[in-house]
Amino acid sequence: MRTNRRPTIKQVAWVAQVSTQTVSRVINDRPDVAPETRARVQAAIQNLGFLPNALARSLIQKRSYTLGVVTAGLKYIGPSRTLHGITSKADEMGYTLLLKEFPQFDISDIHPLIQPLLARHVDGIVWAVPEVGSNHQWANDIADVPVPIVFLTMKERANLTIVHVDNFAGAVMATEHLLEQGYRNIGHITGPMDWWESQQRKAGWESALKKAGRKVGLSHSTEGNWSSSSGETAFIQLLSQYPDMDAVFVANDQMALSVLQVACSRDIDVPRELGVVGFDGIPESPYYWPPLTTVSQDQYVLGSKAVEEVVEAVKRSQGEKYVSNDHGTVIMPELIVRKSSVRQSPG
């Protein structure tokens, strides 16, 4: 008579001709198992369709194999790509996720979001919300949180683990590239200046210009809010207040799209009369016209690295109250050169 009973660890041990302790070591990826024995046990697990008991493993190892993820703005490309990296790496490492999304970026009271995660015994938390406005105080509100937290896209601070893209270096790359192409008067459209990312990109633009002996005036930059519509308004304003401008570094690709559109409508030749460089490296950037030069930041990798960092922190803190280490990961962006910034001779 057919039954629906699940295969047991004893059956796996019998088929593989090893002890149940050896099967447990293989399941928990312990290093003290010979390669041929590990292969035999894994084959038995696959042939029997054995599924390890996650609850039993959690009780034995004092870990839930669950991570909390706090995020915001999933309707935007950047946060959604970061979350993709988080989910993929967590699945690869055998962790499930509990997701909490901020209704807006600049929430100040974080405890109503953290407490439900702690109540479900998460092993660690990935804080995937960028530093915006007053939310920098989060760093002061986590002292009593008993699990590791890894922050994304925040200013480096002592005793916090932070994973971020080097926005300053990316802006320097973009500006130096335009200078190398012979552009002399390079304007900038920044993102909202209460965002740490925007501050770093503007600082990199200023630094590269000053290093090259170029003046940086208040009239040489305008501000958008990341959206294409705000980019249009900011670029029209910049054209008015900086008439000598022959190139522009734009803080994200969406706003750069409107720069190209306005330039076309005003018969400004890109790249001969105006060089344009964006930031982010969104998948659509090669299909703008002309194809957009951009500073590519791999936000999928950003999410993946955050999971790796928090899992390592969980291993270090197992059985003890977590003490943050003063380290993290800095991801270098890449300049992708396309037609929008490669100046051609008049002939």
Over the stretch 141-192, which tens digit does the pLDDT of each residue have? Answer: 666 778 888 988 877 777 788 899 999 999 999 999 999 999 999 999 999 9
**Per-residue pLDDT for 203 more than 90?**
yes
Residue whose structure tokens are 């988080």: 86
Q: What is d(CA 252, CA 190) in angstroms, rounded to the nearest whole number?
A: 8
Q: What is d(CA 73, CA 310) in angstroms, rounded to the nearest whole number?
A: 22
- Joined together, the tokens standing for residue 308 give 């790796």
CATH number assigned to the domain covering 167-297+335-341: 3.40.50.2300
Q: What number is the average pLDDT over the span 219-247?
A: 96
Band of residue 342 on the pLDDT scale cut at 50, 70, 90: very high
Beta-carbon contacts of residue 3 (< 8 Å; ≥ 6 apart): none
**pLDDT, tens only, 271-304:** 999 999 999 999 999 999 999 999 999 999 999 9
Q: State the greatest distance between any 2 C-alpha atoms of the chain, in Å, as a whole number.
A: 86
E strands, 140-239, in order: 149-152, 161-165, 186-190, 221-223
The answer to whether the 66-165+299-332 and 167-297+335-341 domains have the same CATH topology is: yes
**Per-residue pLDDT for 16 more than 80?**
yes
**Per-residue pLDDT for 76 more than 90?**
no
Spatial strand order in the sheet of 328-331: 96-102, 66-72, 124-128, 149-152, 161-165, 328-331
Beta-carbon contacts of residue 16 (< 8 Å; ≥ 6 apart): 22, 23, 37, 40, 41, 43, 44
Q: What is the pTM of this model?
A: 0.77
Domain boundaries, the chain: 9-52, 66-165+299-332, 167-297+335-341
Q: What is the DSSP letter of 132?
A: B
Percent of the chain topping pLDDT 90: 51
Architecture per CATH, domain 66-165+299-332, reads as 3-Layer(aba) Sandwich (3.40)
Structure-derived torsion over alpha carbons of residues 72, 74, 78, 81, reported in degrees to the nearest 10: 120
CB of 276 closer than 8 Å to CB of 285: no
Q: What is d(CA 296, CA 278) in angstroms, rounded to the nearest whole number?
A: 9
CATH number assigned to the domain covering 9-52: 1.10.260.40
